[in-house]
Chains A and B, each alone.
Chain A
Amino acid sequence: MEGVADIRVPGIVVIALTFAVAMVFGVVTLPDSVPPELGYLRPQWVVLVLIYWVIALPHRVGVIVAWSVGLLVDVLQGDLLGQHAIAFMLVAYISESLYQRLRMYTVWQQSIIVFVIVGLSQLINFWIESIAGVAEWSLWYLMPSVVSALLWPFVFLILRYLRRVFNVT
């Protein structure tokens, strides 16, 4: 990548910033005019970013990073400590074991896998919430995975662009 190589930012900073932005998107307040039910459509931004980094840099971002990010998301959303952490660890583990195959896929094929992975993490969240006694099952729980899968191509392209510009390896 000639021409852009002189931007020197440590890779860890780029990765951390993308996670931070994803978290902001995850909790950004909807305007009052929007019906609150739209909140069910909110994609799992952090999971998308996590999947991307695991596929792109499996030697740097893995289960441990997933766990730390998950803890932060738990605190951010006021969930039980460890709930998102365990879901994200599963996400990272699956993506890490599939990364060679995922890299070969086209973006839309990846979307289907993303749908399944995000769905699984939603399911784990639901299990834990229902054990803690605060959740009731509805199909709305799966909406975030549909929306996430549809948004995956854009997230993928943006993050790949960032990775190349900042030369994160």
Chain B
Amino acid sequence: MATDHLSNYLDDIRAALTVVVTPVIVAADLPNRTVTGLTEIFTTRDTMRRRISELDNELLLLRAKTEKMASLTAENNRLRDLLGSAAKLQDNVLVAELIGVDPDPERHEVVIDKGSVSGAFVGQPVLDAEGLLGQVIEVGPYISRVLLISDVAHSVPVQVVRSNLRLIAQGTGVTRQLELLHVQDTADIREGDVLVSSGLGNRFPVGYPVGVVNQVVHDPGKPFAKVTATPAAKLERSRHVLLVFTEDDGRSG
């Protein structure tokens, strides 16, 4: 146990054993999957049609936006090139499905259905449609384990969009809450401020939404203000997540 806690020697054994327990994790997800499948079967044709046309509309809108984005990204990269800056805005993603949740409510970890065979690696950032979800902490051949940003053991470097203030957001163990550490009482931060990942530490890519500040308490007796934020990602709801492959400067490659 000490070996496992303090070193990486046992990672291979763990990965091998993960293969053995993969069927158990898949089986444990079956009831959930069946219920979702059944609700899909029993939706009426009308509802389906309406949904399809809605999705078509949304697709059209998003396509238009993406086109704009593509040109903006290209322009941005060109400008960055001119400036000699290393960070490029180009991320590839891989869609993964959530297949398990840690049974211990104290720990915010989930299991996803992509592993080293699909190219997942330890430390890889994970997103959902709304924002940053967490990072991969353990990789087996077919499944991997993701630590959510709300776990007490997780911190993420963030930046306030409005004032460019750099901070660190730590999980609190409560799903809908993050805590910002060491915020000066005079810092320019207020409720409703949007936090994005700052990219410091080379772990998370720059600019993905992390959360929204929901409370700022100035206590004259304390050296720092107590600031909490609501995570942008639907930490306890997302079923589909995105694994991010950053094609950047090659430093963290």
Q: Mark B40-51, 1 if CB is under 8 A from A, else 0.
A: 000000000000
- Any chain A CB within 8 A of the CB of B97? no
List CB contacts (< 8 Å) of B95-120 with chain A. Answer: 100-107, 109
B32 touches A31 (CB 8 A): yes
* Chain A residue nearest to B237 in the complex (CB): A32
Q: Mark A32-58, 1 if CB is under 8 A from B, else 0.
A: 100011011010000000000000000
How many angstroms from the CA of A30 to the CA of B28 in the assembled complex? 10
A74 to chain B minimum Cβ distance, whole angstroms, is 8
Stretch at the interface among A2-10, A80-88, A157-165: A80-88
- Number of A residues with CB within 8 Å of any CB on chain B: 32
- Number of B residues with CB within 8 Å of any CB on chain A: 35
- Any chain A CB within 8 A of the CB of B236? yes
List CB contacts (< 8 Å) of B1-56 with chain A. Answer: 1, 4-5, 10, 13-14, 17-18, 20-21, 23-25, 27-29, 31-32, 35
The total of Cβ contacts below 8 Å across the A-B interface reads: 81
A128 touches B1 (CB 8 A): yes
Stretch at the interface among A20-28, A90-98, A103-111, A145-153: A20-28
* Chain A residue nearest to B108 in the complex (CB): A36
B5 touches A27 (CB 8 A): no
B21 touches A29 (CB 8 A): no
B26 to chain A minimum Cβ distance, whole angstroms, is 9
* Chain A residue nearest to B151 in the complex (CB): A134
Q: In the complex, which residues of chain B have a beta carbon less than 8 angstroms from the beta carbon of A24?
A: 24, 27-28
A36 touches B175 (CB 8 A): yes
Q: In the complex, which residues of chain B have a beta carbon less than 8 angstroms from the beta carbon of A31?
A: 32, 35
Q: A36-B105, A39-B103 given as contacts; is B24 within 8 A of A81 (CB)?
A: no
- Any chain A CB within 8 A of the CB of B74? no
- Any chain A CB within 8 A of the CB of B128? no
A122 to chain B minimum Cβ distance, whole angstroms, is 11
A27 touches B28 (CB 8 A): yes
**Among the listed B1, B4, B103, which residue makes an inter-chain contact with A27, where contact means beta carbons less than 8 Å apart?**
B103
How many angstroms from the CA of A20 to the CA of B28 in the assembled complex? 10
Beyond the given A31-B32, A36-B175, A81-B10, please list 12 additional residue pairs across the A-B interface where CB-CB is below 8 A. Answer: A20-B23, A20-B24, A20-B27, A23-B28, A25-B28, A27-B28, A36-B236, A77-B103, A78-B145, A80-B5, A81-B4, A134-B107
A-B contact pairs, 10 of them (CB 8 A): A26-B103, A28-B31, A29-B29, A29-B101, A32-B237, A40-B105, A75-B17, A76-B24, A78-B137, A134-B107
B residues with CB within 8 A of A: 1, 4-5, 10, 13-14, 17-18, 20-21, 23-25, 27-29, 31-32, 35, 100-107, 109, 137-138, 145, 153, 175, 236-237
Closest 7 CB pairs of A and B: A39-B105, A82-B1, A75-B17, A28-B28, A81-B4, A76-B21, A27-B28
A residues with CB within 8 A of B: 20, 23-32, 36-37, 39-40, 42, 71-72, 75-78, 80-83, 86, 128, 132, 134-136
